[in-house]
Amino acid sequence: MNTSVKNVPAATDVARLAGVSQSAVSRAFTSGASISSKTRSKVMAAAEELGYRPNQLARSLLRGRSQLIGVVLGNMENPFFPLALETLSKQLNAQGHKTLVFTNEANQQADTSIEDMLNYRVDALILMATTLSSSLAEQCQAAGIPVVFVNRISHAMCCSSVTSDNEHGARLIAQHLVDAGYQRIAFMAGIETSSTSRDREAAFTDALIAMGREKPMRVVGHFNRTGAMQAMRQLLKQAQRPDAVFCANDHMAMAATDVARYEYALTPGKDIGIAGFDDIPHAHWPGYDITTYSQPLDALISQTVERVLSQSNQYDAIHTVVKGNLIMRSSTSPTN
Amino acid sequence: MNTSVKNVPAATDVARLAGVSQSAVSRAFTSGASISSKTRSKVMAAAEELGYRPNQLARSLLRGRSQLIGVVLGNMENPFFPLALETLSKQLNAQGHKTLVFTNEANQQADTSIEDMLNYRVDALILMATTLSSSLAEQCQAAGIPVVFVNRISHAMCCSSVTSDNEHGARLIAQHLVDAGYQRIAFMAGIETSSTSRDREAAFTDALIAMGREKPMRVVGHFNRTGAMQAMRQLLKQAQRPDAVFCANDHMAMAATDVARYEYALTPGKDIGIAGFDDIPHAHWPGYDITTYSQPLDALISQTVERVLSQSNQYDAIHTVVKGNLIMRSSTSPTN
DNA sequence: TGTTGTGTTGCATAGCTATGCAAAATAGTG
DNA sequence: CACTATTTTGCATAGCTATGCAACACAACA
């Protein structure tokens, strides 16, 4: 019964059954090819009967384009990444591309995963929360494979990037916290080597200093929940505890909120101001309601897709910055 | 400067440079092949110099195995899926496989995505929160492609599944709610057509009736946050409101908690019992602390991977059930 | 030295489809 | 109907690698 012979039909089988050549079969499945509707329907009928489907591997091999886009993601614990992956995958699908995905330990170099992807001849690479060795970056350039970093800038000159406006956001947050009357303001960094965290910190610090404040207290939350909770405790157990914290992303801001509220019985907004960055949906859940700077995910991703799929100038590194907005919520209103 | 000629070297180029045949190059990159260490190192040096990497598309075409595993996921809003994807992708990588991923509208038939994947000759399909038309299921069987459903059972006889023990979990939750003294117990369904939701509901209802209770009130939350919030409001606005709700997953239970606490000023546990299913990490965040039944994600996924990669018997549908545990938390302790 | 065995190597081909080119068929026109 | 223009078709090949087979080299051994 269960014969384990898998007999996947090929184009020649269809051709034989339909009484045409293999080329005709190929053309029947290629939109815009030169073929009469009569033979196309003959082919389609035969294909249907045999359960034929064109082998995309062979097609890719021949065309030199696999239609595969490699995506490397960081820590899935942060809701930003799954949401980004979802919109990315949908947009790529809509353009006829498939998504080859790797998840990576946060901020590690993704070299081995990427080598695997290159072996599959991906048409492009999209890297989120990852680094790329410069030797591999050069290989990508040599092979003509566009590489786009999302929300991270690489020192490798040949790679494009799409980021949200970290400077703008951090400046607005600083301004807002000062306006709201907070006095002792702290910053919670993400992963220290990431450009995202560094850019946000630099702009935040500069803005505070420009307004005559001191350099903020600083603590490191590593962009994950556990790290952020520890960092928050470190801040709150001090005698002179800060009265406001800007966390380098919303995911950490949520952890910070939980520590403040449930371990120190502080009411966010009133007793301590908490701000984040990203505007993930969770940031306006009633239990959090966190002031933040919005990263317009759709725009971010569509810019990324455009950069990746545009044939022209794929050798020039283009750095795109997408502006967002300050979203004020109750986590930073001392009067609530 | 920027010549747009992408000149990816092939095995013959390496062979020429190394002064060997193309076969030698192939063998140098195939572990266990018959080749002397001297020529292998000659080949490797030449490959290094040219930046050669074996073309996995050609290799897959020839071998008939692509090493690609197709994964279709539902709604990324539910943290369960990203976490599952992450562990899945890691386990598959560890076995030398790559992950081709599609995200799908919740519970829609994933046929078009899956057809695309079949075109790439995936070695297997893993489907989460999706349906598969029976015609496509048959095609997969004919092509010898194992299909495994995670947390969903398909009517198509040829497909295996790995699920957590929905009956066991729902029964334990029912028991626990009754033991805790709740009187008017409700159930919040997910997507009505999903076997996951139906199985949990059936077992929950049966258990309650077996304990002499009435059939629980019933509301539908569609497995997403918005739906769950609406469903919860529907429950709570009644005059005779329930004093406990079992939600078909944690993601909905979190939404229900937010509605209860922030819209109706009810304290979970004390004023209303709320239970979920999955034990996602968020379920023990202090703001939620939701009683639930644990799905051991690692076990679930490793069973899935095993089923998918085991060559033997891939034509027999095997249904694996992974047991979890009741996790009691404060969301169902009336005395807190 | 001749023989047998083991380990290496190259040749030729398969695996599946897309496409340039020439041949064939069809349509169009007077 | 004859002739040209256009569309459709098949042939042959390319794209890249893995592998069976035969040839080869080499060492071991008597």
Residue window 62-81, chain B: list those with CB within 8 Å of chain A.
Answer: 66, 68, 76-77, 79, 81
Residues 6+ apart with CB under 8 A from B194: B107, B129, B152, B223
Residue A290 is assigned to a structural domain of this protein: yes
Chain B interface includes A103 (CB < 8 A): yes
pLDDT greater than 50 at residue B17: yes
Q: Is strand D within 7 Å of residue A142 (CB)?
A: no
Within 10 angstroms of residue A175's Cβ, the number of other Cβ atoms is: 15
**Residue range(s) defining the domain that contains residue B42:** 11-54
Residue B60 is assigned to a structural domain of this protein: no
Q: Rounded distance, CA B101 to CA B68, Å? A: 10
Return the CATH number at B147. Answer: 3.40.50.2300
Segments of chain A assigned E as strands: 68-73, 98-103, 124-128, 147-150, 160-164, 185-189, 217-220, 244-247, 273-275, 292-293, 319-322, 326-327
Same domain, A282 and A306: no
Angle at which helix A111-119 crosses helix A134-142, to 10 degrees, equals 20
**Measured CA A32 to C1' D5 distance, in angstroms:** 21
Same domain, B206 and B291: yes
Same domain, B273 and B302: no
Residue A157 is assigned to a structural domain of this protein: yes
Same domain, B138 and B159: yes
Chain A interface includes B56 (CB < 8 A): yes
Collapsing DSSP states into helix, strand and coil, what is residue A268?
strand
> Is the CB of A120 less than 8 angstroms away from the CB of B77?
no
Same domain, A103 and A44: no
Provide mean pLDDT across the span A156-162.
80
Query: Facing residues of B332 across strands?
Result: none
**Measured CA A57 to C1' D11 distance, in angstroms:** 23
Residue A4 is assigned to a structural domain of this protein: no
Collapsing DSSP states into helix, strand and coil, what is residue B269?
coil
Same domain, A97 and A129: yes
Same domain, B175 and B97: no
pLDDT greater than 90 at residue A18: yes
Residue window 235-264, chain A: list those with CB within 8 Å of chain B.
Answer: 258, 261-263
* Minimum CA–C1' distance nucleotide for B27: D18
pLDDT greater than 70 at residue A106: no
pLDDT band for position B52 (50/70/90)?
Answer: very high
For A255, nearest residue in chain B (alpha carbons): B285
Question: Tokens 């949401």 correspond to what residue?
Answer: A83
Provide mean pLDDT across the span A31-40.
91
Is residue B273 a contact partner of residue B182, using CB atoms and an 8 Å limit? yes
pLDDT greater than 50 at residue B23: yes
Same domain, B157 and B170: no
Question: How many domains does the structure of chain A reveal?
Answer: 3
Q: Which residues from chain B sit within 8 angstroms of residue A99, using beta carbons?
A: 100-102
How far CA B76 is from CA of A25, A251, B11, B73, B84, in Å, comes to 39, 16, 41, 8, 10
Collapsing DSSP states into helix, strand and coil, what is residue A135?
helix
| Weakest-pLDDT range from A108-122, A255-269, A294-308 | A108-122
Q: Rounded distance, CA B12 to CA B21, Å? A: 7
Question: Tokens 């495994």 correspond to what residue?
Answer: B148
How far CA B184 is from CA of A307, B135, B235, B254, in Å, comes to 56, 44, 11, 20
pLDDT, tens only, A213-240 = 999 999 999 999 999 999 999 999 999 9
Residue A3 is assigned to a structural domain of this protein: no
pLDDT greater than 90 at residue A131: no
Residue window 145-164, chain B: list those with CB within 8 Å of chain A.
Answer: none
* Minimum CA–C1' distance nucleotide for B64: C15
Percentage of residues in chain A with pLDDT exceeding 70? 94
Amino acid at B155: H
| pLDDT of amino acid A336 | 58
Return the CATH number at B46. Answer: 1.10.260.40
Residue B59 is assigned to a structural domain of this protein: no
Same domain, B180 and B83: no
Same domain, B230 and B318: no
Chain C bases closer than 7 angstroms to a protein Cβ:
7-12, 14-20
What's the CA angle centered on B293, arms B291 and B295, to 5 degrees?
135
Residue B256 is assigned to a structural domain of this protein: yes
Q: Which residue has the higher pLDDT, A158 or B14?
A: B14
Nearest to A273, CA basis, from A236, A219, A237, A228: A236
pLDDT band for position A318 (50/70/90)?
Answer: confident
| pLDDT of amino acid B3 | 35
Chain D bases closer than 7 angstroms to a protein Cβ:
7-12, 14-20
Same domain, A188 and A141: no
Nearest to B242, CA basis, from B259, B223, B222: B259
pLDDT band for position B111 (50/70/90)?
Answer: confident
Same domain, B96 and B244: no
